[in-house]
Structure 1
Amino acid sequence: IEAAERQHTAVPGEKITAQVILTMAKEVMGLNEQITEIDKLITARFRDHELAEVISSMPGIGPLLGAEFLAATAGDMSRFGTADRLASLAGVAPVPRDSGNVSGNLHRPRRYHRGLQRVFYTSALISIRNCDASRRFYERKRAEGKRHTQAVLALARRRVNVLWALIRDGRYYQRELPVTASA
């Protein structure tokens, strides 16, 4: 906006264009304020849920991804008998594509909850940067010859198992395993 006002060369339609840009910039700023308010409401609503602290204790899952997780699962983990069922719904569990004598052929699923997959995939990407254990797991998968997406999906699958166990046991995520005293 300031750059448009400081121009010295006169161009036909310049003032109208500057007004349009100013109007659009104000609209964008208003939308950003609305987004901030909605994010605050989502965060407050998420914090009220009984599983909020357990879910947000996991690296890479904040209030917005946690709220999306709760919305995708309806906040009821009893719907899923095992972590495998949750991973299947999230689309991070491989699906067999066997035929005749060919077995062990696995591929990505076609039917899954896109929002839930986004939660685990995004949290895996974030945790690679912020959590040493996740970074080591990702680097190990890359060293095994996996492509980036395959390694991130493998990490996302592992995070499903961890989150499932945390919710099942009602525990918080611990960054490092406790060291036991040797006899």
Structure 2
Amino acid sequence: MAAKKRSLIGGVDTHRDTHHAAVIDTTGGLLADAEFPATTAGYADLLAWMRSFGQVTAVGVEGTGSYGAGLARYLTSKKIAVVEVDRPDRRARRAQGKSDPIDAIAAARATLAGTAMGTPKTRTGPVEAIRALRVARRGAVKARTAALNQMRGLVAAAPEPLRAHLTRISAAVLVSRCAVLAYDPTKLHDPQHATAAALVGLARRVTALTEEITTLDRQVTPIVRKAAPRTTALFGVGPDVAAQLLTTAGDNPDRLHSEAALAHLCGAAPIPASSGRVRRHRLHRGGDRGANHALHTIALCRMRYDQRTRAYLHRRITEGLSKQEIIRCLKRYIVRDVYTALRADFAALAP
């Protein structure tokens, strides 16, 4: 009976095929550790095993955005508090070693100590759908950029007649010209014909990837506009920027417990950087860099087209701030607008 009433904390080190779990008491003492398969049945066995030692207060899970996503969803559905745990500190890892039991125990103790306090994304709503489509789009964009760079590289070293025809032109013109290059398949031992064949293949790849990106944009845009109408209505926020901000925030609005938390999450929280008579702040170098880039895009758009922002820009310049420092200030102000809009959008999405 005493074991059933005992409060305990769980920790899980997640992997693709297996999860290693550990349970500790409220003083940090290890009770047990075990390994379970990363399946729905394995999740149920893991939770039942933890509950056999007492009442599960919380479970710290590593990798809630990857291998631990399924387990985090399962535990949340069973009303278990799930805490997102970062990988162990490298200094501590060097001192203590590395193994699945060690990482699971460290996750549990980080949860108990309060050093791990992150709320994992639920990944059960439209934001997760947006994220999935954006993953595919980002991969297509990277592949297209790589193909274009390969084309430029081939053109730079191509035989002279080919190089002269394909230099000093835009990417779109380069692709269109390369797509119709003529070459003799029986003469691929000749560098000119081989280069032309390679450029034709790369041009077709770029064209296919461009079509894929366009299709993904058509798919994700209506989801973004429906999920976040207030956010997309903000000045300088288009569907792509809004999609990034939604992905950073996640489906569960309780992650955004304050405007400052969102600023920290986006890497836009001011950090003191003063010395001597100089009093200044700089931006937090961590956070989600994709979200920070989205804020940067909004800031640049407003600096160019929004009259209030332009007036603010001129005023701050007269006060002696550099353009970079002004953009940092603008990002923090933009977070305020974004936070209000996101909270309203999430409230409208709530059942």
Name the TM-score class by shorter chain: 0.7 to 0.9
SS in 2 for 1:48: helix
Structure 2: state its 5+ residue gaps. 1-176, 183-189, 346-351
What is the CA-CA distance between 1:14 and the residue it aligns to? 2.3
Residue 48, structure 1, aligned to residue 223, structure 2: no
What is the CA-CA distance between 1:111 and the residue it aligns to? 2.6
- Asked if 2 retains the 8 angstrom alpha-carbon contact of 1:138 and 1:155, the reply is no
SS in 2 for 1:146: coil
What is the CA-CA distance between 1:105 and the residue it aligns to? 6.0
Bigger Rg, which one: 2
Report matched runs for 1:93-104 at 5 Å. Answer: 93-96=269-272
Deviations 1:20-42 (A, max 9, x none): 21221111111111111111122
**For the aligned residues, what is the CA RMSD?**
2.8
- Asked if 1 retains the 8 angstrom alpha-carbon contact of 2:181 and 2:200, the reply is no
Partner in structure 1 of residue 108 of structure 2: none
- Asked if 2 retains the 8 angstrom alpha-carbon contact of 1:56 and 1:62, the reply is yes
What is the CA-CA distance between 1:97 and the residue it aligns to? 5.5
Quick one: which amino acid aligns to residue 57 of structure 1? A
Decide which of 261, 266, 287 is 1:112's aligned counterpart: 287
TM-score where L is the length of structure 2 = 0.41
Deviations 1:33-63 (A, max 9, x none): 11111111221221231xx110011111111
What is the CA-CA distance between 1:13 and the residue it aligns to? 2.9
TM-score where L is the length of structure 1 = 0.74
Partner in structure 2 of residue 31 of structure 1: 209
Quick one: which amino acid aligns to residue 329 of structure 2? A
What is the CA-CA distance between 1:4 and the residue it aligns to? 5.9
CA separation in 2, counterparts of 1:166 and 1:24? 42
Number of residue pairs the alignment of both structures matches: 161
When residues 142 and 98 of structure 1 are mapped into structure 2, their CA distance, relative to the original with a 3 A threshold, is closer
Structure with a larger share of its residues in strand: 2
SS in 1 for 2:320: coil
When residues 98 and 16 of structure 1 are mapped into structure 2, their CA distance, relative to the original with a 3 A threshold, is closer
Partner in structure 1 of residue 239 of structure 2: 63
When residues 124 and 25 of structure 1 are mapped into structure 2, their CA distance, relative to the original with a 3 A threshold, is same
SS in 1 for 2:301: helix
Partner in structure 2 of residue 165 of structure 1: 340
Deviations 1:75-113 (A, max 9, x none): 4433223212211221212123689x99x6633323322
Residue 126, structure 1, aligned to residue 301, structure 2: yes
Deviations 1:119-164 (A, max 9, x none): 1111111222222112222232222222222111211111111222
Structure 1: state its 5+ residue gaps. 6-11, 171-183
Considering Cα pairs closer than 8 Å and 6+ residues apart, tell me whether 1 or 2 has the greater RCO: 1
Partner in structure 2 of residue 16 of structure 1: 194
- Asked if 1 retains the 8 angstrom alpha-carbon contact of 2:268 and 2:328, the reply is yes
Quick one: which amino acid aligns to residue 121 of structure 1? H
Residue 138, structure 1, aligned to residue 313, structure 2: yes
What is the CA-CA distance between 1:168 and the residue it aligns to? 4.7
